[in-house]
Amino acid sequence: MNPEEHIEQMLHTIIENTQSIINDNQKQSFGSLEYFLGHIREYRDEKQYLTEDWHIRTPRWLGEYGNTPEEEELLADIYRLQAYIAEKLKGG
Cβ neighbours of 49 (radius 10 Å): 24
Phi-psi region of 28 (alpha: psi -120 to 50; beta: other; left: phi over 0): beta
Write down the pTM of the prediction.
Answer: 0.83
Contacts for 17 with CB less than 8 Å, ≥ 6 apart:
70, 73, 74, 77
pLDDT, tens only, 72-90: 899 999 999 989 988 887 7
Distance CA 23, CA 37 (A): 12
What's residue 92's pLDDT? Answer: 58
Cβ neighbours of 3 (radius 10 Å): 14
pLDDT, tens only, 5-54: 999 999 999 999 999 988 887 766 567 788 889 889 988 998 888 887 67
Q: Is 83 exposed, middle or buried (0-12, 13-18, 19+ CB in 10 A)?
A: exposed
